[in-house]
Amino acid sequence: MKLQILGCYAATPRTLTNPTSQVLEIRNHLFLIDCGEGTQVQLRKNKIRFSRINHIFISHLHGDHFFGLPGLISTFRLLGRDKELNVYGPKGIKEAITLLMKLGDSWTNYQLVFHELKEKRPVLIYEDDKVTVETIPLDHRVYTNGFLFREKPSDRKLNVEAVGKYNIDKAYFRNIKSGNDVILDDGTLVPNEVLTFDPVAPKSYAYCSDTAYRPELVPQITGVDVLYHESTFLETEAHLSGKTKHATAKEAAAIAKAANVGTLILGHYSTRYKSIDLFKEEATEIFPEVELADDGKVFNL
């Protein structure tokens, strides 16, 4: 599982920083999470193939999280895309995007499928044989969701030496990797744990941006491997977090600690601060495993 940060700063694009967008690579999927202005330029800079993006998740309809989407959809068309594109986002996103396409007479030549969200509880919005994605209800000035990505358990790993010892035919390998025992021709039962190794533990990633401090999300994200949580402000500006429905680095760390996550990644920084290192200093006073997102940074999870 790999996370590439395309942009992680609040509000407006600048010459050296970009608004929110990131790409999560998980079990051969490439999921685009939020699409702030300039996302497609960042995709090119980071050498991410446009053709691999089939699912886009938009947290909310503030410009720094979706103004890049109309341009990206248009570019897909110009590149001759013919694969279906799925967009998951708040109710209203379809109207916003299709109005622009209508006014510009630039309908896509590929199927564009909108999955509009309005539930205020966690909802499973994507599932295949490898991955699930569900919403994480957040607390912001408009309807907002985070997203929880979970790998499904992999097959068990075959112990080649053990199956050779028992002279087991290859025809049984698939059942063995699925967790089944084997009965030999003489009636001997060979337990699965003798023939296999445990698979790599499935990983999970929770994306929470933008939101005020919200302890209610802790039960849903408890134990996740990696949590990305917004940290727009430091405690010195905590008085602004209530007005704007954002969180401080300290509050993000409190959520990570309460949820017992593996690693906390901070992002969505206000550009009023001279150094993002200040966010890590504040958060590590509460939770030790803190990383800082930054434009172009890659996390191998």
Catalytic residue numbers, as ranges: 64
Structure tokens, 284: 């590590």
Beta bridge partners of 226: 205, 263
Q: Are 228 and 206 in contact (CB under 8 A)?
A: yes
Give the whole-angstrom CA distance, residue 164 versus residue 157: 14
φ/ψ (deg, to 5) at 250: -65, -40
- 60 assigned binding-site residue: yes
- 140 assigned binding-site residue: yes
**Cα–Cα distance list, 203 to 34, 101, 225, 252 (Å):** 21, 38, 6, 21
Tell me whether the omega of the peptide bond preceding residue 198 falls within 30 degrees of 0, making it cis. no
- 62 assigned binding-site residue: yes
- 115 assigned binding-site residue: no
Q: What separation, in Å, do the N-terminal and C-terminal C-alpha atoms of the chain show?
A: 5
243 CB-side CA count, 13 A:
5
Give the whole-angstrom CA distance, residue 267 versus residue 10: 9
- 55 assigned binding-site residue: no
Give the whole-angstrom CA distance, residue 202 versus residue 223: 12
Per the annotation, binding residues are: 60, 62, 64-65, 140, 210, 268
Per the annotation, binding residues for Zn(2+) are: 60, 62, 64-65, 140, 210, 268
